[in-house]
Amino acid sequence: MQAGQGWNMIEAVPLTKTPGSHWFGYYGKWQFDRSGTRILGQRSTFDLRMPKAGDEIEIGLIDLTRAETSWRRLGSTQAWHWQAGCMLQWVPGSDEPET
């Protein structure tokens, strides 16, 4: 694809090869750790329908320092929605995630 005048094209590449839909949820939260090598995210086994009561998503981590990036499950939650996810974020000044 050719970029238009004044536009720079950047290739999008998948960060995981695991099944499911992966996303980060909210614009006011930062998904990268302080080193920029780990990314928080959420994963569901469905994506083309509205959530139902009891639907659970996984909370996880993608480590960009590994040769093959992979999804590492940290836990799960039923308290979420598509736009904001579960309000996942890094603890300010820490390398530990906060949910």
| pLDDT, tens digit (0-9, with 9 covering 90-100), for 6-21 | 788 888 888 888 888 8
- SS3 string of the chain? CCCCCCCCCCCCCCCCCCCCEEECCCCCCCCECCCCCEEEEEEECCCCCCCCCCCCEEEEEEECCCCCCCEEEEEEECCCECCCECCCEECCCCCCEEC
- Number of independent structural domains in the chain: 1
CA–CA gap between residue 32 and residue 86 (Å, rounded): 16
Q: Does 8 reside within a domain?
A: no
Residue 43 has pLDDT above 90, yes or no: yes
Per-residue pLDDT at 20: 86
CA–CA gap between residue 85 and residue 17 (Å, rounded): 21
Q: Does 28 reside within a domain?
A: yes
Q: Does 15 reside within a domain?
A: no
Query: In which residue are the tokens 């009891």 written?
Result: 54
Q: Does 25 reside within a domain?
A: yes
For the segment 52-97, what is each residue's pLDDT rounded down to a tens digit? 999 999 999 998 888 777 889 999 999 988 887 888 888 777 766 6
Q: Does 1 reside within a domain?
A: no
Q: Does 61 reside within a domain?
A: yes
Domain holding 82, by residue range, is: 21-45+55-98
